[in-house]
A and B are shown apart, each in its own frame.
Chain A
Amino acid sequence: MLRKLLGTVLIVLGLVAAGLGVASATVWRQSDTVVATATPQGDGALVVTDPGVLELVDDSVTVRATVPGDGKVTLAVGRDVDVAGWVGDEPYTRVTGLSDWESLAVAAGEPSASPSPAEGQDAGAAAEPAKPSGDDPAGNDMWVAQASGDGTVTLRWGDQPGRWSLLAAGVGDGAQAPTVELTWPRTVTTPWLWPGVIAGVVLVLAGLAVLLVRRRRRGTPAVPDQADEVVPPSDGAQPGEASPGRAEDRTADRAADRTELLAAAADQAPAIPDAAEQRSVPFVGRRSRRASDPSTTAEPPTATPSATPSASVWPATTGASPWPARPGAAPPAGEGAQGDGTQGDATAAPETAAIEVPPVGASAAEPPATTGATPRLTRRELRALEEEARRGAARPITGRLRALTGQIPVVGRGQQAAADQPAAPGAAPATTRAGRAAAWRATWGFDGGAPRPATPQDAPQDGDDPAAGTQDSTEGGSR
């Protein structure tokens, strides 16, 4: 229910985001032009723009000046000092910039600070504000661009290097200042289009994924959610199934299933007790999950525990952690009566499970038999084991060995001790190469290596063939 809600919300949000993205590039798209208007202030028939105003938005601008009635109006563009000089002491409206995107900021113009010497002759008269002259600036040699017209006039201006001012003048007696409208083209970008659409698509896909996953899960008969959290001691949790008979039934069924998948393991399957069966679990890890559907449909109640350990054991195995050998971390296996007893013994722990391996033959090369202990590990324990493994990995291992194996064989401290103890009488000390190799094999538990370290004469034999063991272990680890 929660997932359905989440999926729906995600899809709707995605559609909305995509819609907004598209809308930002269509209905909400900015206009291609910026049109700003200046309404003259105060007295005077002149409007002057500050330098820089003409090229505020774009280098090319279209100026439109309108005066009430049919009066003549002139537009001129000149250097800022020239325009200021022309205006002189006349009152004017100064355009200082854009107040918003649609209107120009205006201010009452201050009289030119430095009237030219030629005009300075009536310095006394300059004190009182000059009256609008109504003079026509048209035709002055200083202008770079100009236009005149009756009522309305338009002038196009493309920016050039320099400081340019626009002079708009109402011409004639009693002329009024024109209203000036500047129109710039604008490069309109649609920065929200693709982000919106992409985010929308992602959200919709995420929503669909949530909905679909939910549907699929509904199809599979309930993998308990706890599987994610705890690797349950399967039989311990369900004491009813702990009875040997039922366990054997299950074993037989599961083994039968597996025969279809594993020809190699088919022969042994009925013969091996629980430990062997459990050992093969990691081997089929992925397949077993895939195959869980048929098997579970056949026997719904028991399929659940089997799927669970396989799913969780596998990563631990691939992690090549030495946990199987850790006595404390391997609680008694509920289903394996034999294992129950032997695994309690710390020193024998690696061997007990592995002792049964040699008859298995082909499958002996498979991942450690001791994985039979895995189902009883909680995730926390696994984490602790991995921690241990990491610490173990920190132990000095010769570079050569590392190069040979291609991965770091983790030989935990306790592990090493366990491996060494049986070997103690005849085996080379752990500090020697042979000793380390023996410990390593013990760790990985292949080739019957685990029990053999106990027999001194076997240790060198194993040392002869490290490459084979390496290969196998690598294969198992990479599986």
Chain B
Amino acid sequence: MTARPARRTPAAVAAGALTLALALTGCAAEPPAPNPDPSASGPVLSEDQDTHVLGEVNAVLQAASESNDPTKLEARLTGPALAIRTSQLEVAKARGNADLVTDIPGEYQQLIVPTNDTWPRTSFAITVQTEELQTPRLLALEQASPRDPYRLWGWVQLASGITMPAFADAELGSENLAADDDSLLVSPQDAVNQYADVLTTGSGSAFKDTFEDDAFRQLLGSFAQTQKETLDQPNVDGTYTLEVTPTKDQPVKAVRTADGGAMVMAALTATETMTAVEGATLTPPTRSGKALLGDAEPTNKLVDGYSDMVALYVPPKGADAKVKLLGYSHIQTSVSTE
């Protein structure tokens, strides 16, 4: 009577244990599958990252300026900015002081971060005013390829009294536009080409009505006027020409503004050619030019090369507005007597 339960119990226990064990093992979860967030357009750099990049750039500028060693610039400068800064440092070395080296503050009032997934990418930043209360600088930083760092590509001084267009918040990012983007009143490349023509030909330009009048045109115009008056005297019999062209191999940089327009930044090359009668000597009109000329003997011919940067606001297509200059820089980087 007692033997029977004893015989059956182990079997029952085994059955129960087996059932439970199966239930337990059956509930071991399958490994989850990746469930990433959906792709969404966003800034390629966070604000922290962008600030870090700008800090790096600023550190390189500082280090190069302190040691007057342009080779240090290559780590974080490229394109027109590298050329200009290198020239400025050489001028500073020749002149023995850094007065003519553009001051670029290390604090920023606005970051404009691209959203593009392709390269090159361009981010922008607007600095605060300088210690001398000069207008803020607009910086453009380029990442040419994924394995490159962001490098300072160019800068302009904002024109005084200008109203900057609004940009999307840095947490949303602003789209970089192609040079031939057709959503604008004028494509970025065309805007730069036409603006160069306006600078070259002045009021005779066919495109002058596309652009609002601005300080840079006035500056170049008045400078040319002065030079022409000086050279156009009977005993001098000189000539003065100015030609401004978009810098080769430096594609324009464009970024979408909040109103659907674009801010376009471009490098221009301005070349002044002055001649005078035989025997006359033409000295560079700028301190940079003098420093660049150095010990070379002035002749009756002078070719000043300027590396210019301009920032333009291009309204969206169909807008009843003109292209407007936001800022510029006009820095002599070469001089020649031939």
Contacts and interface: CB of A to CB of B under 8 A. Distances in A.
A12 interface: yes
Interface residues of B, number: 43
B112 to A, nearest CB: 16
A135 interface: yes
B75 to A, nearest CB: 11
Interface string B39-62: 110101110010011001000000
Contacts of B248: none
Interface string B113-155: 0000111100000000000000000000001111101100000
A117 B147 contact: no
B146 A53 contact: no
A391 to B, nearest CB: 48
B279 interface: no
- Give the residue among A13, A50, A97 with the most B Cβ atoms within 10 A: A13
Given A96-B34, A141-B143, A144-B46, A8 B13 contact: no
Interface string A28-39: 100000000000
A8 B34 contact: no
Given A52-B35, A82-B44, A97-B33, A8 B9 contact: yes
A163 to B, nearest CB: 5
A325 to B, nearest CB: 50
A192 B145 contact: no
Given A82-B146, A86-B146, A98 B31 contact: yes
A403 interface: no
Nearest to B52: A141
B296 interface: no
- Give the residue among B24, B40, B146 with the most A Cβ atoms within 10 A: B146
A5 B5 contact: yes
A125 interface: no
Contacts of A140: 146-147, 149
B321 interface: no
B53 A141 contact: yes
Nearest to A112: B146
B294 interface: no
Contacts of A191: 27
Contact of B31 (A50, A85, A88, A101): A101
A20 B20 contact: yes
Contacts of B45: 141-142
A9 B44 contact: no
A142 B147 CA distance: 9
Interface residues of A, number: 50
Given A98-B32, A141-B53, A142-B146, A81 B117 contact: yes
Contacts of B40: 162
B119 A99 contact: no
Given A56-B32, A98-B32, A144-B46, A85 B12 contact: no
Nearest to A133: B147
A1 B4 contact: yes
B297 to A, nearest CB: 43
A57 interface: yes
A166 to B, nearest CB: 12
B31 A116 contact: no
B204 interface: no
B58 to A, nearest CB: 14
Contacts of B31: 56, 97-101
A70 to B, nearest CB: 24
Contacts of A8: 5, 9
A429 interface: no
B145 A118 contact: yes
A139 interface: yes
A243 interface: no
B51 to A, nearest CB: 11
A224 interface: no
B16 A118 contact: no
Given A1-B1, A81-B117, A116-B146, A196 B42 contact: no
6 contacts: A16-B13, A52-B35, A79-B44, A86-B146, A191-B27, A192-B27
Interface of A: 1, 4-5, 8-9, 12-13, 16-17, 20, 24, 28, 50-53, 56-57, 79-82, 85-86, 88, 96-101, 114, 116-119, 135, 137, 139-142, 144, 161-164, 191-192, 196
Given A56-B34, A119-B145, A163-B36, 12 more contacts: A8-B5, A13-B12, A13-B16, A51-B37, A52-B37, A85-B119, A85-B146, A116-B120, A116-B146, A118-B119, A141-B52, A141-B150
Closest 7 CB pairs of A and B: A52-B34, A52-B36, A85-B146, A98-B31, A51-B36, A116-B119, A5-B5
